[in-house]
Amino acid sequence: MRILSGIQPSGTPHLGNYFGMMKPAIELQEKGEAFYFIADLHALTTVQDAATLRANSRELAVDFLACGLDPARAVFFRQSDVPAVTELAWILSTVTPMGLLERCHSFKDKTARGFAASHGLFAYPVLMAADILIYDSDLVPVGRDQKQHLEVTRDIAGKINETFGETFKLPEPSIREETAIVPGLDGAKMSKSYGNTIEIFAPENVLKKKVMGIKTDSTPVESPKPTENSAILGLYKLVASPEDYQAMEADFLQGGVGYGDLKKRLFAGIWEYFSVHRARRAEILADTGLVDRVLEEGAQKARHVSDSVMARVRKAVGL
């Protein structure tokens, strides 16, 4: 089974990225042949500064490795190191109905947030379909917000098969329901674009400040506190043991513990959870050349697969 996923280097990786995408992807690397990549071509639709994009890509590579991506098990590479993916995107675009892309939420969301309505942003799902199909992927672990893109991928693959004969297998999404939406500092979905993120590798004082800044209501210390949609509980559940989580939930329900104390416990929980990752990150940063080596080897392995799929595609469509 081939497992594939990508993540855009569009900012510093946060807990939403970790629990929604990176952790499930890392766990899946045990279950099959994993291909994970840094979607720098996709990030170019919103990050249009060379130094920033380069720095983000590097940081993402370091952080993903620090979180446990194992280059001995998973093929880890940069999307742009496999240029054939843009060729495939073009081929796919010739059978992709405009209406299919017009229905995609992400284009509407991003233009509503002020990003220029470029062709690249509009065609984003086609490039994503190419990412998936060029490696004959079976399973694609993503957050729930990417579900529609997986549906588009399956539609496009079906169109190619219908038009040119059986060429692609249809990939399945893998979406973890329990961590489908990680809450941010304001209780809404954690996202770079909402400015409510907690970065995985934030320094201790920054992390503490962020956690202490989580938005809460004005329930007095002694009173029971609402557990529904609580960002504190939602985040604590991800990092604490079941017993510690239940203890915090009980404190919410009984009252008598203030939000300040609850946040301190959450901070300690997050800091502890990532201690192993932080140590690994320091080792990675100390080994100059490691990241370049990993990505170069990954690119070679990825191109090996994409070359053979592209030969099949070109033959099927008459190029």
Enumerate the active-site residues: 110, 189, 192
Classify residue 155 as exposed, middle or buried by CB count within 10 Å of its CB (0-12, 13-18, 19+).
Answer: middle
Among 140, 232, 238, 313, binds ligand TRP (CB under 6 A): 140
Q: Which does 12 bind (CB under 5 to 8 A by kind): ligand ADP, ligand TRP, none?
A: none
Q: How far is CA 170 from CA 35, 133, 137, 212, 287, in A?
A: 16, 8, 8, 45, 39
Using CA of residue 60, residue 61, residue 67, residue 69, what is the dihedral sign? Answer: positive
Contact flag: residue 173 with ligand ADP (CB under 6 A): no
Q: Which does 43 bind (CB under 5 to 8 A by kind): ligand ADP, ligand TRP, none?
A: none
d(CA 198, CA 125): 27
Contact flag: residue 8 with ligand TRP (CB under 6 A): yes
Looking at beta carbons, which residue is closest to ligand TRP? 6
Q: Which residue has the tokens 């079976």?
A: 138
Classify residue 304 as exposed, middle or buried by CB count within 10 Å of its CB (0-12, 13-18, 19+).
Answer: exposed
**Start-end of H helices in 78-146:** 84-93, 98-102, 105-112, 119-122, 124-133
* Nearer to ligand ADP (CB atom), residue 85 or residue 313: 85
Among 45, 96, 146, 306, binds ligand TRP (CB under 6 A): 146
Stretch that binds ligand ADP, among 116-124, 191-199, 242-250, 267-275 (CB under 6 A): 191-199
* Nearer to ligand TRP (CB atom), residue 42 or residue 265: 42
Among 40, 63, 131, 199, binds ligand TRP (CB under 6 A): 131
Query: Footprint of ligand ADP on this chain (CB under 6 A)?
Result: 7-8, 10, 16-17, 20-21, 142-143, 145-146, 181-182, 189-193
